[in-house]
Amino acid sequence: MVVIQAIHVQCRLDCSHVLSCLGCPRLVRIVHNARHCDGREYPEYDHDDHDFDQGEAGLSRKTLIGTHVKPSRLEENVVAIIANQGGLKRQEWLFPALLGLVILALACLGEWGREWLRFDHAAVAQGQWWRIWTGHLVHASWYHLLLNGTGLVILVLLCPETIRLSWWMLRFLLMAVMTSAGLYWFGEGMQWYVGLSGLMHGFFLLGLRQPALRGDWIAVACLVYLVGKLLWEEFIGITVSNEAAIGVPVATRSHLFGALAALPLMWAEWRWPNAAEAPAADAASGSD
């Protein structure tokens, strides 16, 4: 009779080990410092730090000289992700999360809800004004909903903004009005419209502005892509979305109107920055 005893071996791949293997001693030292210089305790890293110190001995002294050397912008971005410094504040994710829940709940109403809530040119002309806002909250299919829901997640992760919930709501209300007005008067015969994608283009334009002005090359690249996408759809006329999966033709003109609707808000937030930003005390208390 052979007795086999199962042994559970836990193997954790620490970021310092990875960077050492990749030949990045500079980032190794910066990450090592980031753990101990941000005022927080990391008991779970004690064993890893011991291994780190042993592995560090194998690196050349010349490479590791200058513990407090100032990292480049790219290294700062990499270290912020690896060391998991900071975190999303409540003001950064609350409105996108609420908006996601709203569009999910309205999707559960099915075809009946979509008929009563979609932007409809003839119905708006007859006085059904609610469609100006609700048309952006209903979707043509679950896949359509998934695309815009994913966009909200990317928005929060890529360009989080610490602004008041009331300002987020003002953004939505004003941008929905301006986008619907564009569709109503310049929609080129569009009879009805559903989806959040038009406003999402405006949200991304607003969210990427500040990082781009600070020299964040990722934000700059995203802005260039966003503008290029709008120009491509407007002048070439070929959408980059999967119309067959969505279930209806993509109204690319709504993307343009959504982006244009963000411009007045962009100017207002530049002119009165304190009106949009959440108070420092609220932002601190809302961090997770």
What is the DSSP track for 154-167?
HHHHHS---B-HHH
Rounded CA-CA distance 14/209 in Å is 34
pLDDT tens-digit map of 65-96: 444 445 555 455 444 443 334 578 888 999 99
Domain 90-285 top-level CATH class: mainly alpha
Tell me: pLDDT of 184 over 90.
yes
At 287, the amino acid letter reads: S
Return the closest-CA partner of residue 137 out of 57, 194, 58, 62.
194
Tell me: pLDDT of 283 over 90.
no
The residues spanned by each domain of the chain are 15-82, 90-285
pLDDT tens-digit map of 206-232: 999 999 999 999 999 999 999 999 999
Mean pLDDT, rounded, of the chain: 77
Return the closest-CA partner of residue 138 out of 168, 99, 173.
99
Name which of 52-56, 249-253, 280-284 the model is least confident about: 52-56
Q: For residue 9, what pLDDT is reported?
A: 37
Assess contact for 183 and 251: CB atoms under 8 A: yes
More confident residue, 62 or 128: 128
For 37, how many CA atoms within 13 A lie in the half-sphere containing its CB? 10
Q: For residue 31, what pLDDT is reported?
A: 46
pTM, entire model: 0.68
Assess contact for 198 and 126: CB atoms under 8 A: no
Quick one: tokens of 150?
Answer: 């994913």
